[in-house]
Structure 1
Amino acid sequence: MAAHDDAKKVRKQVTPKGGFFNFFRGLVAEFKRITWPSKEHLKKATISVIVFCIIYVIIIAIIDFGFNSLAKGILKKLF
């Protein structure tokens, strides 16, 4: 119930006409609504992203090496 009341207050602060200061009021209001992850969840997500990137780089390197070898073999036979 309290969150619903806070949302009503936020809507009253920001007018739809816009403006420079209304933009920043809306920005502050949005930042207050964010639920930030815990340190543990952030650590797990970061590790999983790093592991995925490493796996992706290895797969792309293997494919690149394969195509490079294939191209050299084909060019060696042609010339």
Structure 2
Amino acid sequence: MGDTANNTENAPKKSFFKGVKSEFKKIIWPDKQTLAKQSAAVVTISVVLGVVIAILDVAIQYGIEQILKIG
């Protein structure tokens, strides 16, 4: 009885890894030029978004300081 329990536990693991391997074969990896363009786009958008957030932070902080001075 104990042997059948061990066999059923090992079977799903093997089929899982076979499934992962077959899925990895389906992946179409980008070429270097596409990868470079997409990476540059991500970095550029991240920097621009960071600058926008910093500007909004300074503006909101200035606005709150002005409101507190009035009160």
For structure 2, which runs of at least 5 residues remain unmatched after alignment? 1-10
RMSD: 1.1
Answer yes or no: is 1:25 the counterpart of 2:6: no
Q: What is the aligned residue count?
A: 61
Tell me what 2:35 maps to. 42
Q: Deviations over 1:19-68 (max 9, x none)?
A: 11111000000001111000110000000000000000011111111000
Amino acid at match of 1:74: I
* Pairing of 1:1-79 with structure 2 (within 5 A): 19-78=12-71
Q: TM-score, normalised by structure 2?
A: 0.82
Report 1 or 2 for greater relative contact order, CA contacts < 8 Å, sequence distance ≥ 6.
1
For structure 1, which runs of at least 5 residues remain unmatched after alignment? 1-17
Structure with bigger helix share is 2
Question: Displaced runs of 4+ in structure 1, greater than 4 A?
Answer: none
Q: TM-score, normalised by structure 1?
A: 0.74
